[in-house]
Structure 1
Amino acid sequence: MGSRISFYNFNVDYVSGKQHYDGELFFKENKQGGMPVTFMNMDAKAGTKLSVEEIFRLNIKLTDKRILRPWMYTFCKQKSFNDELCSEAERKMVKGWWSLCYEKFDNTLTEWLAKLQNKEISDPDKLNFNVGNKCLSDFWRGTIRELIEAIAYIHDCGLFHGSLKVSGNYVVVGEQVKLCNIGGRLKSLRVHDKTLSFNLRQ
């Protein structure tokens, strides 16, 4: 896949310290225009234990509709800034940071929910988790069901996510909430409790 990519382009807002940036991929077979993608700043994500290359190689194997597709990983480094004027985010850029290039998305789940609450997005069905009789709304019931199915698919592939509680590992693509940054293989899990291990064998 990497050999198909001719070059990529994205603009970084150093001052804001954003975690993701819009960009484009240009393929050798299509020189007329780029494909919209999103570059995710992995150095800004807390709890990332694996290398970016490892996360990429785990994620590229998965094809479920609720899992965000990665295209490539990159290392970015800014050569210099004006030391007196640069922000903390800019200082980090001088050291360099790793990013993962994913399918285009506009917001992480955290950002999207904040926009709903601030009424930047108007959709009561998505803002309200509960409807009558404290039942989940149709949107969230369907979303949670499909995410659980995606997690089952990840396990069937011999992998596990490892950071499902981190809201930054969920992104919104159109009307869908998708998972990203799958982070481990099931065979690497170990049961340390001998009693539990014994009970599992029964």
Structure 2
Amino acid sequence: MDAIVKNFPALPATDGRPSQKEAEDAVRVLLRWAGDDPQREGLLDTPARVAKAYKELFSGYDLAAEDVLGRTFEEVGGYDDIVLVKDIPFFSHCEHHMVPIIGKAHIAYLPNGKVLGLSKIARVVDIYGRRLQTQETMTAQIAKAIDDTLQPRGVAVMIEAEHMCMAMRGVQKQGSTTLTTTFTGAFKTEPAEQARFMTMLRGFK
């Protein structure tokens, strides 16, 4: 399981996953373990609902960022400056406790003769968000997917998020935010480009 989470491949249809019934039975076990009765009226349909919700929440395992990013556009009218998509909301789940991560992503790249459709960038965030995650890994994976597919002059990714594993349990510190960044190409080697990215984040409303 660790290798699947870290490398994030798109899982094939015949991946040996448990059946729907096995998933629902597992939810019933957890309900009993928590101290409740899966047979009481309010919980009768809960296993099916949880299995359906998990299928949606973790749908990123069935998708590949390369497929989403495959189409690019070369008619850019000579534009070669920063393209920034800010405040992309996402929901993910901590791989350690399987509780929500709620945040937003800011993604920029420097075109190298071609650009992406803006919705593609948001979809890549969703693909990696809808998997068991650490914020650090998600930040690096988004940057790598765009860098590998588009081959721009540089990619910058910043993610800021609140982790429910820190807010709901453990130290129970609500409202704390974790910030991660990854830079490639010119954003990594040229401090001025990195500074422009940060300035645009602060000034772009």
* Shorter-chain TM-score tier: under 0.3
When the two structures are superposed, what TM-score results if normalisation uses the length of structure 2? 0.22
Please state which structure has a larger fraction of its residues in helix.
2
